Amino acid sequence: MDDIWQLLECVHAPVYFAPETGPVYAAAGSGLKGYWMGYFASRAAALGAVPPEVVTAAFYNFAPARVARAIPDAWARCPPEQVLAARLDVADRALRRLLGEFVDGPEVVEAAELGRRAVEALPVAGRVLFAAHAALPVPEQPQLGLWWAATALREFRGDGHVAALVTAGVDGCEANVITVALGLAPPEQRLNRGWSEAEWQAAHARLRDRGVLSQDGTLTDAGSLERDAIEATTDRLARPLLAGARLAECLRPLARRIVGAGGVPFPNAMGLPPLRPG
């Protein structure tokens, strides 16, 4: 059975891959410039017009230099409230295209309501991105209410994952190296996340010195155990999400339809594995 995290990601993530993304962000304000400015501004806008250091800290696995090329320039081009409106527009266009006639169906309505209740029931302490997104107004249209909930809930898990990585002493670049070593992210992950070749190789060296990576770049047995421990901590911190069995049931057919329509590619930079067949 698919993990609820996977299902939430499939509903949320089309905003990163949809062809609607570029034109909508380019038309927002005086125009967000390029894919990465749109990405950083749209995901960080719930925090307000924060400096690049805050975005680097919250997102965790991006190179600071990559973030600084987009933030704070994005806020001068388009203030956060306009970015948030543009992001909802992208979500609406993408979900209508990907879900087709199901976008107005009872499954979406029920999933949106269950998702809203789940968000409202979760604690915000220590969950900065979750808290910021949960504080945004709930859209009235069911498909956007569902996307709002999926976004907040995936950030809840993400905040916990960052805490697990920090506790394990795995920095942002190292986390990317491990994801690539597992085959969950494409080889171009270094470029996607903005790390230089020198930074990437230094992360490899640190992981080898700690016995996490072998000389050929694969995880050692000890490295696999460490990674499993990080995921176990992440799952433990996300345990309140596991109570949403009915939410997962509602999300599953919607997530499969979104993936089947090409809404999320595999492999992907998020490290999201494919949905299980059946």
Predicted local distance difference test score (pLDDT) of residue 277: 81
Euclidean distance between CA atoms 48 and 23, whole angstroms: 23
Alpha helix segments (H runs only) across the chain: 4-12, 14-17, 21-26, 34-44, 52-59, 64-68, 73-77, 80-99, 106-121, 128-134, 142-168, 172-181, 189-193, 197-209, 221-237, 245-260
Can you give 10-60 as a three-state secondary structure string? HHHCHHHHCCCHHHHHHCCCCCCCHHHHHHHHHHHHHHCCCCHHHHHHHHC
- 3-class SS at 113? helix
Beta bridge pairs of residue 219:
213
Answer positive or negative: Cα dihedral of 202, 203, 207, 213: negative
Q: How far is CA 123 from CA 72, 254, 272, in A?
A: 29, 27, 25
Beta bridge pairs of residue 213:
219
Euclidean distance between CA atoms 33 and 118, whole angstroms: 35
Euclidean distance between CA atoms 124 and 145, whole angstroms: 19
Predicted local distance difference test score (pLDDT) of residue 163: 98
DSSP symbols for 220-243:
PHHHHHHHHHHHHHHHHHTGGGGG
| CA–CA–CA angle 72, 74, 80 (5° rounding) | 95
- 3-class SS at 140? coil
Predicted local distance difference test score (pLDDT) of residue 1: 41
| Prior bond of 277 cis (ω within 30°) | no
Average pLDDT, the chain: 96
Whether 191 contacts 39, CB under 8 Å: no
Euclidean distance between CA atoms 265 and 14, whole angstroms: 9
Token output for 149:
């909930």
Identify residue 216 by its one-letter amino acid code.
Answer: D
Residue closest to 8 by CA, chosen among 272, 192, 235, 277? 272
Q: Average pLDDT for consecutive 10-residue bins of the chain (278 residues)?
A: 85 98 96 96 99 99 98 98 98 98 96 96 97 99 98 98 98 98 94 98 99 97 98 93 83 97 94 86
